[in-house]
Every structure is written in structure tokens, then in C-alpha cells.
Amino acid sequence: MRIFKPMQSYLLVTLIAALIWLYAEGQNVRTDTRTVTVALPARIGQDLVADFVAGSDQLTVAVTFKGATSALDQLKVHLGATGAVELPVQSSMIAATGKQTLNLSMLFPQVRVEPEKPGSLSVSEQGISVVGVEPGEVAIIVDKLVTKDVRVVFDPRGVQLGPSVKINPATIPVTLPQSFLDRLAGSDDALFVAATIPAGRLSDMPEGVEQTLPLTLELSKPLGADKRVERHIKLGVTTADVTFTIARQQDSLAVQLVPVWVSTPPSELRRYDVTLADESRVLREVTITGPRDLIERLRSKPNEMRVIAQFQLTGDMLDKGVTSAPISSVEIQQVSATGQGRVLHVVPVNPAALAAGGEELPTTVAATKAATVPTFLSQNISIFAPTAMVRFTVVKREQPATTGG
């Protein structure tokens, strides 16, 4: 028995020494630089939101931490394990809306290491200090959220609706940044949400039968155009019941070339020579949407139907030296065997597609379609074209000299 007592004492001392060594090793202080992806909170306080001025919703920074080896190892495992690290921005840090700067070196010690767990500790509470952050500061823009009642619209492409369309609710509350609402001041028509329905579902519906459907609500293009704004917009209601009747199914046809015809009083043509610019002699890549039977005639009987763009010049325009003006209308004509055209439809230029001064808002087919603003529009026909403008040169003819008797 006496032989084993020294051995036991030796083993106990060895174990204690090993534990002390392991503890000391764990308490070794070192520094560690890590690349961390950070994000701003979805909301600051009750009604504030913030975005990085650079435009992205996340930012990558290099952070240098200092602490015990074991604590740093735990930090490495858990910090940012579930995605971007949320910066602990509080409303008390925000002086006012608009642009301001965040000090990341001051914020990072307060970052929660495991935010998904209740009672998680911050970086500093785990005994880790932040030596530095690169960049040390970041610019943000702060906005206030407001809630506004916004109208719901139902205007599906490809069909002609009956006159009675009922939407319930007719308006819904929408939460959005105040700065965006300020930019829309005086342009309330641009602020709406759309009740949407797949085109394929519409094509299977009968004409003349009233339908009531729950439809999904989506942001209008003017609302969703700004990604920063879109991140903070919340619809108070996501569906609406829409009651409508399909009066007539519609179809679309792409027409590669539509000739431009100049219409000027003969008396003015005796005084002026008018020459269209090469790019204005035809409209290219035109899309016509209208009643299905009309579109089918245009598609299947190209020799009996034609589409032309009418450009009207007045004497006053010629006298003023105008060199560009909008096309007045697009005509769909039925052509006789002798080549004579009988006008079936006149589709005038859409004032909504023209800005003040006669310049069109959309300048390409893609932009026009994205804005859902037809270049030419009548009650049941809409036409998208790259432009509504025609450019030309005008040369005044020399008048013959008159002699007295």
C-alpha cells in the first residue's frame, strides 16, 4: 500500500499541472483579424430605417479582435454563422434623418455574437476587445417611415374589361419612406398597387361572365423602381377581391416596320420642302395590342391590312422652323384591290407618353414596356413604339418673282 501512495500523489500533481497548463493556454492573449459582412437593422426604433449610402444592403469590413485564445475561437465559430452581422444601431444614435456617419469601431464591441439565442453576449461581454475596424466609419442615409392609403388598380394586359370593375378593398395602407413620398408630391397617379393575374388564366376565362377572384397585390413599377425604397415598403394587405367581366379577349402583334406618312396642306408644300430624317421614315419594332379578331386579321392578311403612322405638319410649325414633332396617330387601314386604304381604327398619340415640351418619356421599346405606358392609345387598342417623335428638315422654296403690268 505504501508503494502506491507516492504514485497517486504523483498522478494527482501531474493532472493538476496539466489542467493549469490547459487553463493558461486558453488564457493566452492574441489578436485576430477577420473579414465580417455587416448589415443595418430592418428598423431602428419605431419608425426609422437606414441604408448604406453606397446602395448595397450589406458591407464587408475587416475587424481586428484581441482576447483570450478560447474566446477568439468561440467568436470565430459563432460570429456571422447565420448570415450578415447586424450592427446594433439605436434610435438614440440618430440625430436626424438624412446622411450621417457610423463609427464602426465603437459599434462592434456591442455586436451580439449569437443573436439568434436569447440572452446572447456581446463581443465585449465575452472579454474580447476591438482593436480596429477597416473602414472605421461608414456613411448611411436615415429615413422616416410613414403609412399612406394607396389605391388598388386592376388593368390586365391582353383583355378588354367591361365597364364595371369592383375592387375590395379599394385602397390599402402602405408603409414607405417619407423621402420617397416627398419626391412623388403632385404625382399621386404614380402611387398605386396592382392586383395581378397570370395572362394564361385570363385567356381561359369566358367573355361576358362576371368573375370575383382573390388576386395578389404587387408594387407598381414607380414604387419598386428604387431598390432602397423597395426594401422598406410594406403592404398592409397582400390580396384583394376583384370583380370583373371580360368584354373581349385581346392579342398582340409585333410589326417590324411602320411607315411614317407626312400630312401637310398642299399650299404649304408649295412653300416648303419637308424631308424626314432617315431614322424617322419608319417606326421600328412596334407592338400592337387590341381585339383578338383585329390582330388575327393583321397577322393572317398582310396584303389586305396595313398600319401607318400619320405625321401632321401645320403652316405655323413650318414658319417657326420646327425640326421635330410627335406623330399624331397610328392608323390601321383595310386595303382594296386597287391599293386604296379605308381607315378602320385611328390610335392617337398618348399624352402620358409625352413630357412637357413635346419630348417623349420612354425612349426605347424596353423602357416603354417597363413603364407600361403605351405610345399610342385608344379605347381598345394600345401601341408601343420606340419613340413618338419624328425629326425632319424644312427648306423654304424660292418664290417666283412677280412683275407689274
Give the confidence band of 366 by pLDDT, cuts at 50, 70, 90. Answer: very low
In a domain, 269, yes or no: yes
Task: Tell me the average pLDDT across 145-165.
Answer: 88
| pLDDT tens-digit series, residues 58-76 | 899 999 999 888 888 888 8
Q: How confident is the model at residue 356 (pLDDT cuts 50, 70, 90)?
A: very low
Whether residue 401 is contained in a domain is answered as no
Do 253 and 390 belong to one domain? yes
Task: Please indicate, yes or no, if residue 3 is contained in any of the structural domains.
Answer: no
In a domain, 214, yes or no: yes
Q: How many domains does the chain fold into?
A: 3
Give the model confidence (pLDDT) of 235-293 as tens digits.
Answer: 999 999 999 998 877 888 999 999 999 888 877 778 888 888 999 999 999 999 988 88
Alpha carbon of 283 to those of 131, 164, 277, 286: distances in Å?
64, 35, 12, 7
Query: 253 and 377: one domain?
Result: yes
Tell me the pLDDT of the chain averaged across its residues.
82
Do residues 264 and 313 lie in contact, with contact meaning Cβ atoms separated by under 8 Å?
A: yes
Residue pair 138/40 in contact by the 8 Å Cβ criterion: no
* Per-residue H/E/C for 330-341: EEEEEECCCCCE
Residues 185 and 319 in one domain: no
Whether 259 is covered by a domain: the verdict is yes
Distance separating alpha carbons of residues 34 and 126, to the nearest angstrom: 17
* Region 376-396 average pLDDT: 88
- pLDDT score of 232 more than 80: yes
Q: Please state, in angstroms and as integers, the Cα–Cα distance from residue 158 to each residue in 247, 286, 289, following that order.
A: 11, 16, 7
pLDDT reported for residue 248: 75
pLDDT band of residue 23 (cuts 50, 70, 90) is low
**184 pLDDT higher than 50:** yes
CA–CA distance, 261 with 309 (Å, rounded to integer): 6
Same domain (yes/no): 278, 374: yes
Provide the pLDDT for residue 13.
45
Is there a single domain that holds both residue 130 and residue 157? no
Of the candidates 136, 135, 111, the one whose C-alpha atom is nearest the C-alpha of residue 125 is 111
In this structure, the answer to whether residues 86 and 156 fall within a common structural domain is no
Please indicate, yes or no, if residue 254 is contained in any of the structural domains: yes
Mean pLDDT of all residues in 164-169: 94
Indicate whether 388 belongs to any domain: yes
My answer on whether 116 and 191 are in the same domain is: no
Q: Is the pLDDT of residue 372 over 90?
A: no
Once rounded to an integer, what is the mean pLDDT over residues 108-133? 87
CATH at 226: 2.170.120.40
DSSP 24-85: HHHT-EEEEEEEEEEE--S-BTTTEEEEETTS-SEEEEEEEEEEEHHHHHHHHHHTTTTSSE
Percent of the chain with pLDDT over 70: 85
Q: How far is CA 2 from CA 6, 8, 12, 263, 285, in A?
A: 7, 10, 16, 125, 105
The pTM of this model reads 0.56
Instruction: Give the pLDDT mean for 315-336.
Output: 88
pLDDT of residue 348: 93
Contacting residues for 128 by C-beta, under 8 A, at least 6 apart = 65, 66, 67, 71, 72, 75
Name the residue type at position 327: I
Residues 219 and 129 in one domain: no
Cell 401637310 belongs to which residue?
264
Residue 171 has pLDDT above 90, yes or no: yes
Q: Are residues 133 and 149 in the same domain?
A: no
pLDDT of 369 above 70: no
Residue 175 pLDDT exceeds 50: yes
Determine the structural domain holding residue 243 and report its residue range: 145-248
Asked if residue 330 belongs to a domain, the reply is yes
pLDDT of residue 309: 93
DSSP letter assigned to residue 360: B
274 & 388 share domain: yes
Tell me: do 253 and 391 sit in the same domain: yes
Predicted confidence band at 225 (pLDDT cuts at 50, 70, 90)? Answer: low
264 and 332 fall within a common domain: yes
pLDDT band at 186 (very low <50, low <70, confident <90, very high): low
Task: Flag whether pLDDT at 151 surpasses 50.
Answer: yes
Q: Which of 187, 217, 248 is the last residue of a domain?
A: 248
